[in-house]
Structure 1
């Protein structure tokens, strides 16, 4: 990556791999003046139009590579993964408790209200925590989001009415809505370049969250002593505590996870955020402290960073203003290539945000029309549900392997995941038995997570650091908007038609096409 030579003595001069040196020989690596060799190339290079920031980012990436993978990264992998698990947990829980709660409150109101409330909260949370993480930093948002989510979940279990439950369900979504934004952002900004593929692997925690949901609901929504007969007349609270126990248990679990984040990780501000803030001294101290703790080398100095010059402002005059938002938004369209990348990413999140829930909205009615009846015993209902959710765990593992293969990379791993998922959605039209339904559900859960997990990782990898959380948050927000749309469709549309299955498959084909045209390939390069 080329830099501007602000100072002839600056120790940050290097040649770009793949270019020709003054003797006509191809440069094979990037060599710093201290003699260390760094083969990594930064993804955005000069795309951000700020040579000083570009040069400093390269030095920071070199330092992170020099430190390498440590036990601190293992902690982040696990505790950031909790955020993935919580996101899937809270989304599925509200859909599972909606029917018994609606019955208890007299079946008065909007039956799909909790689904819409949850997605509305997730939407607001994605925008709030994403934008907030670019304003005040990753650390505070990272530490607070799960605490808000856990508190709201516990209170939701004590809701006295259908509207009040909707409010607290939305608040649960608001607290958890920033997890997909913050967890990938924080983890990525500490990762050495040759380990960025682990960001894809981290999505396996999403499957764990789904599986945990299945086990909690299996435990509390099956026993008759805690659940009303949904076909009966009366459903008093004393006979219908199952769904409340689900929320109490989930809230307590998330609360424990929020405490573990603070006590085990003790997250400092990420070095790349410190860089965009112009806090070079704190950045160097942060990385030097990490290196010292794990007995790793770190040759980065404050003098090296200062020699690169002063970066352009990444904030407005007021952090909490419309101007601030415009700065972060415009940074996502700084060049034609970055603008194309941002646009295609948002399209991808929108497409999968519609395709995935739309299929499941229509699935049960579609199967009934075809005469496919599932088990009536609650034990087998929840067993099948849990099997399908567990099947999603290996998907990100395979995606992590594929995206680290040179001729596939992130882009073509997404293409493979989308096309294979499309094929099985088309195959669903051949389902005639309950066992076939379970088998296809498990396979689709596996395949869709190949695409989903890679998109989770790709999004923050190619966004510029100063605006990463905002861009990531808007991406997730588009996904949540489509979740709300699917809930409305479920209420007003004819759910007996087979068209949604073919439409869903076509949407995955569109995702594959979009992935081909992504302008950046992160394989072998480092986030900027």
Structure 2
């Protein structure tokens, strides 16, 4: 890559190229001063102009909903395993009760890396159409598991399919989104809360009525068997069926074409123009982009094998190396990439400590306050998760103001930290529920914005890889959280204090991010 840069500097000045470059510098593209391929920068500039000219259409609205399904599925699968693990353990008597948490995070880790890399190597379309189907099939099968090990296997496979959606959904939506509407990427994280709510509602509907009694609560309870403990299986059947319906809707409602920015990075200018012109024609919008304009910019380095975007052989370790180098193409891009991955690592520990083990903590607080009803426990769980829907809604509007993405994350992290510290002082069931609702709301202000910020500031040719690794860091810490839960008591406020401290660090990191997408356009 260094030799390519040196070759570019050694080349004689091209007046036409210099003119194109100067024009694109005059517009607000996020990475306009960071490019290593001026021709690609100019073409991205023209594509951004075309998308802005077409504007927001029903096509983007469909993407908002259908991509939002992926957000919902990710949180749904993540929480379902924590919800059903206790009841499944009563039936299977495993030697390691935190196995489901490790299984789901391992599946999501592999899924994020696999689908993220595939998005940069073969495109966004394939993963968008396939990942949810894979998730749904194994989620349904998980409900029929005969033992703990098989259950863990199917949970991991289901998470593998669902784990790639957060990588693809943000990238696909962003690469079709007009610049003035990029704040909707933050709003789309509300679907994460919807997935949480669905998980809570399924638990509320099935677990109190179709579950055996924990012998530690009632010594006279009958042994837990397949026949008297079907509630957790019904939760998996219902969840898998819902995901399957979502996957069919994604294929039938919108026949996704490859994103224009991926096509430009591949050097497939003609297909890029055809895609944008087709959208403009369908929705009766103007689009002045022509193939001649793109060809006039020249040949991009990213459109050639052995370039800065692809290795000579696509399916090789060298291809992965190329994408990793692209995420560190300049000092600012490299600094940004490192901080993003660090932020995902931090919240990857904070979120599971609070949310994945919230069920056991709520149950312990309920008993502390004199409430032992499973119905009330899961009702409160659903209410808390419903509050998480509205955090990204507020964050979306905050991102559309001069606060921008960075300071929306700072504010969200600090408010969440304050509620975490205050939470340990609750003295009643009503206070317990109220503080959990507040934390769920504020936590998703930060989380929802980070989801949107990550793909916005990554280079398009390496967006899938960077996003996949970021979410992979998150999943690794989720695995670690299961180990922590094994040696620590999650029924105490200690995880809450740890989460509060982590959010202080997250607020600081957000403040020093080098790029602010507000008022600018993604590459």
Counterpart in 1 of 2:7? none
- Is 1:504 aligned to 2:499, yes or no? yes
* TM-score normalised per structure 2: 0.92
Q: 1:290 to 1:366 in 2, by over 3 A?
A: closer
Matched, 1:131 2:117: yes
Q: Tell me the C-alpha RMSD between the 2 structures.
A: 2.1
Q: Which residue of 2 aligns with 1:157?
A: 143
Q: Deviations over 1:50-101 (max 9, x none)?
A: 1110111000100000000000000000000000000110111111111111
Q: 1:382: which partner in 2?
A: 378
Relative to the length of structure 1, the TM-score reads: 0.91
Using the TM superposition, name which of 229-238 and 114-123 deviates more: 229-238
* Aligned twin of 1:442: 437
| Aligned counterpart, 1:431 | 426
Call closer, same or farther: CA 1:282–1:454 in 2, change over 3 Å.
same
* Alignment deviations for residues 232-268 of structure 1 (CA, whole Å, 9 cap, x no partner): 3522212211111111111111001000000011100
Q: Is the 1:5–1:13 Cα contact (8 Å) retained in structure 2?
A: no
For 1:72 and 1:342, how far apart are their aligned partners in 2? 30
Partner in structure 2 of residue 24 of structure 1: none
Tell me the residue number matched to 1:398.
Answer: 394
Instruction: For residue 307 of structure 1, give the secondary structure of its aligned residue in structure 2.
Output: helix
1:224-263 to 2 correspondence within 5 Å?
Answer: 226-231=210-215, 232-263=221-252
Structure 1 position 55 matched with structure 2 position 67 = no
Q: Does 1:111 align with 2:107?
A: no
Mark the CA change 1:491 to 1:285 in structure 2 (over 3 Å): closer, same or farther.
same
Q: Given the superposition, is the C-alpha separation of residues 374 and 421 from structure 1 closer, same or farther in structure 2, using an over 3 Å criterion? A: farther
Q: What is the count of residue pairs matched by the alignment?
A: 501
Relative to total residues, which structure has the larger helix share, 1 or 2? 2
- 3-state DSSP of counterpart to 2:253: helix
Taking a change above 3 Å as real, the CA distance of residues 502 and 370 of structure 1, as seen in their structure-2 partners, is farther
Partner of 2:60: 73
The 2-side partners of 1:156 and 1:369 are apart by 30
Does structure 1 residue 281 correspond to structure 2 residue 267? no
What is the CA distance between 1:376 and its match in structure 2? Answer: 1.7
| Residue in structure 1 matched with residue 279 of structure 2 by the alignment | 290
Output one character per residue of 1:172-214: Cα deviation in whole Å (capped at 9) or x when no partner.
1100001111100000000010000000000000111111111
Shift of 1:102: 1.3
Q: Secondary structure at the match of 1:110?
A: coil
Match of 2:304 in 1: none
Structure 2: how far apart are the matches of 1:264 and 1:108? Answer: 43
Q: Identify the residue that residue 6 of structure 2 maps to in structure 1.
A: none
Shift of 1:496: 6.3
**Per the alignment, do residues 375 and 496 of structure 1 end up closer, same or farther by CA in structure 2, a change over 3 Å counting?**
closer
Asked if 1:205 is matched to 2:206, the reply is: no
- Distance change (3 Å), C-alpha of 1:361 and 1:192: closer
Q: Is the 8 A contact 1:109 1:162 kept in 2?
A: no
Give 2:70's match in structure 1, choosing from 65, 79, 83: 83
Gaps (5+ residues) in structure 2? 1-11, 216-220, 302-306
Once the two structures are superposed, residues 351-401 of structure 1 have per-residue CA deviations (whole angstroms, 9 ceiling, x without a partner) of 111112223567656995998336322221111111100001111111011
Deviations 1:207-226 (A, max 9, x none): 11111111111111111xx2
Distance across 2 between alignment mates of 1:132 and 1:445: 33
